[in-house]
């Protein structure tokens, strides 16, 4: 059995809890360092999850045992932190989005190639039992020829629960950039690459108020559209309608339906790892539940698949190429909403190998 891969978690905010809880349980990895610009935060997360060292970003990158940096900073810092990690010769797992724009994302991938290190990117929910089971079911022909998709994400917005939500309304976020990657990556997994998008965007309110945590009542500015309605066309012929809205008192999320020539398949929430599928054939009066099979270990599964790929010399699944394609889709969607035009999407990717239903996060090298 090979040595566990040493990891530094950079960015010890809200989502670092889920990553640290999981990564400290996977035997193929060893979390060696917690880093943040807020050193106290890094220290407190290191102590909460029994991580031996903590400190600033450069200290993490200078650590000789760290092979891979898990970048959980806010979107505006993703490219800068990832570039620093690559410069230090570390592999990088980035939270989504890969970067704020295509130039920064491409520069990141070129730097990684030159240094001979890998880049992986969230969301890794596409590796969970729910979406992997949907992929297997579609490949088996159960819904016939996949034709269209309908996805819905609507609600009042994350100022309702996030204690520091400003970054979620800044460039690089909004419902499209923050939650779009889950839905767009799911359709990328099930349909392959897209080649054209069109969209309408709205920003009904220029400011919002924090509703939770110690800063409740604080007003902040909204920089991006908070309602985005999208049409997408896929290279394999499918079409999709997607809604991303934080302007709805009614909350409805995790809605992904794939319609084929023989049946409609309801896919579980793409922001989660498990959940049952539901199937409805022509003439059915109700849904048939189809249990999903596979791993549901949560955030960090993509990092684990990446380190296993590194040790075996095999490609990892949540690849930078898919993240780059999803980023290009989001940038094209924004451009379309501004220009009222269809926008081409040029990048592509090779579909990763499906994840085996027996893949076990808790058995080293499984
Ligand atoms: N909160 C969620 O539910 C959630 C879910 C999935 C993904 N994400 C993604 O995870 C990332 C982080 O989200 P969050 O909610 O944890 O944010 P957060 O604001 O709670 O935490 C971000 C942390 O990064 C640190 N940071 C910022 N810039 C830095 C820099 N240049 N160097 C080092 N540290 C820096 C901050 O001090 C903070 O501790 C975002 O990309 C977000 O899209 C969040």
Residue 172: its pLDDT value, please?
87
Q: Residue 197: name the closest of 155, 150, 241 by CA.
A: 241
- Predicted confidence (pLDDT) per residue in 83-96, tens digit: 999 999 999 999 99
**Separation CA 365–CA 311 (nearest Å):** 9
pLDDT of residue 2: 78
Ligand 1 centre from 232 Cα, in Å? 29
Encode pLDDT of 263-282 as tens digits: 999 999 999 999 999 999 99
Burial of 39 (0-12, 13-18, 19+ CB in 10 A): middle
pLDDT at 160 over 70: yes
pTM: 0.96
CA-wise closest residue to 197 among 237, 155, 232: 232
- 310 dihedral zone (left: phi>0; alpha: psi -120 to 50; beta): alpha
Q: Return the residue whose CA atom lies nearest to atom 29 of ligand 1.
A: 73
Task: Say if ligand 1 is within 6 A of residue 231 CB.
Answer: no
CB-ligand 1 contact for 74 (6 Å cutoff): yes
Cβ(243) – ligand 1 distance below 6 Å? no
Q: Is the CB of 43 under 6 A from ligand 1?
A: no
Mutate which of 8, 10, 14 for ligand 1? The one with the most ligand atoms within 8 Å of its CB, which is 14
């Amino acid at each position: 059995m090979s040595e566990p891969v040493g990891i530094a978690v950079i960015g010890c905010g809200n989502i670092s809890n889920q990553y640290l809880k999981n990564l400290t349980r996977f035997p193929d990895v060893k979390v060696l360092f917690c880093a943040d610009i807020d050193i106290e935060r890094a220290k407190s997360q290191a102590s909460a999850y029994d991580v031996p060292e903590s400190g600033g970003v450069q200290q993490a990158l200078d650590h000789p045992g760290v092979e891979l940096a898990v970048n959980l900073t806010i979107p505006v810092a993703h490219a800068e932190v990832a570039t620093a990690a690559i410069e230090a010769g570390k592999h990088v797992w980035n939270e989504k989005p890969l970067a704020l724009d295509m130039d920064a994302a491409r520069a990141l991938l070129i730097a990684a190639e030159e240094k001979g290190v890998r880049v992986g990117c969230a969301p890794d929910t596409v590796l969970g039992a729910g979406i992997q089971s949907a992929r297997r079911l579609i490949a088996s022909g159960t819904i016939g020829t996949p034709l269209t998709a309908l996805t819905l994400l609507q609600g009042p917005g994350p100022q309702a629960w996030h204690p520091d939500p400003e970054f979620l309304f800044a460039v690089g976020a909004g419902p499209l950039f923050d939650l779009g990657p889950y839905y767009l990556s799911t359709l990328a997994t099930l349909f392959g690459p897209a080649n054209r998008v069109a969209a309408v965007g709205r920003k009904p309110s220029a400011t919002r108020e924090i509703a939770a945590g110690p800063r409740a009542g604080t007003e902040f500015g909204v920089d991006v559209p908070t309602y985005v309605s999208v049409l997408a066309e896929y290279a394999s012929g499918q079409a999709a309608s997607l809604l991303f809205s934080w302007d709805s008192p009614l909350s409805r999320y995790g809605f992904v339906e794939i319609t084929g020539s023989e049946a409609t398949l309801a896919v579980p929430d793409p922001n989660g790892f498990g959940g049952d599928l539901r199937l409805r054939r022509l003439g059915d009066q109700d849904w048939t539940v189809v249990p999903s099979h596979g791993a549901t270990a949560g955030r960090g599964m993509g990092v684990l698949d990446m380190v296993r790929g590194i040790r075996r010399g095999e490609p990892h699944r949540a690849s930078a190429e898919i993240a780059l394609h999803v980023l290009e889709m989001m940038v094209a969607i924004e451009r379309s909403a501004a220009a009222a035009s269809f926008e081409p999407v040029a990048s592509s990717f090779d579909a990763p190998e499906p994840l085996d239903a027996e893949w076990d996060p808790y058995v080293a090298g499984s």
